[in-house]
């Protein structure tokens, strides 16, 4: 591995953390009827274990009553509604009418209220009291819910602090997204921002170095020193990062892929990059 690359600003300019409220965060898009339901064992269990979550009803297929009763008994999330309706056992046809067609539900689904809106300013305030490494992932116009969910899953697995998405073009938190996230929706903040370029500038003012992943970049991610606070930016698979977002990056880096197949799916690229940063942290 080559020596780490440092920007001239890193040697000559120290950034002092500060927090400013600029209204970068945006509310969750309105949910449709099917978006009230989370499904799959990991997504449901994580929601019930989240004290910030509010839930109404747990629906299961016949034969899964014992597991469902344990989940309800151990739930930390706040229950809304009468206790008698907390658990509903349904036949398959009735159960599947609650969910999108072809949902991989594993026979369990949870009717929930949306999580409180995550806010960039609150994240920065929280990080003011935290020492050590802090990684944030930013997705520029990534619109596929499976990809966003998979990125959330990797971010939670490798200890990232949050995932930022754009208010326009990014998907709402549907059951499909939550299923792909395998419980990470309830473990790591998903923050919607009105203007991603301005949000990156705010993170930079608070001591973060921003690195955009680009398969054509000169240097590999493993050769760049991002310091203790880093933002990984990934663009959409079609057009990549937009110009203003790209200009906010302190570095551009590529992953060590083969020239014959240089591009990865955005969620796979996020997983590899997050692993690299976690590996480096463990080695320090």
Q: What is the domain-level CATH number for residue 77?
A: 3.30.1330
Domain final residue pick, 97, 112, 127: 112
Looking at the fold, whether 215 and 200 belong to one and the same domain comes out as yes
- What mean pLDDT is reported for the chain? 88
Q: Look at residue 162 and tell me if it is in a domain.
A: yes
Is 3 domain-assigned? no
CA angle in degrees (0–180, nearest 5) for 39-79-31: 50
Tens of pLDDT, residues 66-83: 999 999 999 999 999 877
Same domain membership, residue 50 and residue 167: no
Mind listing the pLDDT tens digit for each residue in 139-195? 999 999 999 999 999 999 999 999 999 998 899 999 999 999 999 999 999 999 999
**Shared domain check, 223 and 146:** yes
Do 194 and 56 share a domain, yes or no? no
Q: Are residues 214 and 277 in the same domain?
A: yes
Per-residue pLDDT at 140:
96
Domain extent at residue 144: 18-24+116-283
Q: Could you tell me whether strands 108-112 and 37-39 are parallel, antiparallel, or unpaired per DSSP bridges?
A: antiparallel
pTM, to two decimals: 0.86
Domain boundary pick from 84, 112, 140: 112
Give the per-residue pLDDT at 12: 35
- What's the pLDDT at 17? 44
Say how many residues make up the chain: 284
How do beta strands 134-140 and 229-235 pair?
Answer: parallel
Last residue of a domain, one of 112, 134, 156: 112
């Amino acid at each position: 591995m080559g020596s780490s690359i440092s920007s001239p600003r890193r040697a000559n300019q120290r950034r002092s953390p500060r927090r400013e409220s600029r209204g970068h965060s945006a509310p969750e898009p309105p949910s449709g009827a099917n978006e009230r339901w989370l499904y799959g064992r990991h997504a449901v269990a994580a929601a019930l274990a989240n004290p910030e979550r509010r839930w109404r009803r747990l629906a299961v297929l016949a034969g899964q009553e014992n597991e469902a009763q344990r989940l309800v008994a151990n739930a930390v999330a706040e229950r809304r509604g009468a206790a008698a309706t907390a658990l509903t056992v349904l036949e398959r046809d009735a159960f599947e009418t609650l969910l999108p067609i072809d949902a991989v539900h594993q026979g369990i689904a949870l009717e929930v209220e949306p999580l409180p809106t995550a806010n960039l300013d609150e994240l920065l305030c929280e990080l003011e009291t935290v020492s050590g490494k802090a990684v944030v992932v930013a997705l520029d116009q990534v619109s596929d819910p499976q990809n966003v969910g998979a990125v959330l899953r990797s971010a939670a697995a490798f200890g990232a602090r949050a995932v930022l998405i754009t208010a326009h073009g990014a998907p709402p938190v549907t059951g499909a997204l939550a299923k792909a996230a395998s419980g990470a929706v309830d473990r790591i903040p998903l923050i919607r921002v009105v203007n991603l370029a301005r949000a990156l500038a705010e993170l930079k003012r608070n001591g973060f170095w921003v690195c955009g992943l680009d398969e054509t970049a000169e240097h590999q991610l493993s050769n760049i020193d991002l310091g203790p606070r880093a933002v990984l930016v990934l663009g959409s698979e079609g057009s990549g990062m937009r110009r203003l977002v790209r200009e906010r990056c302190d570095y551009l880096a590529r992953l060590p892929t083969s020239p014959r197949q240089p591009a990865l799916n955005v969620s796979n690229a996020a997983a590899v990059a997050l692993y690299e940063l976690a590996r480096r942290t463990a080695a320090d």
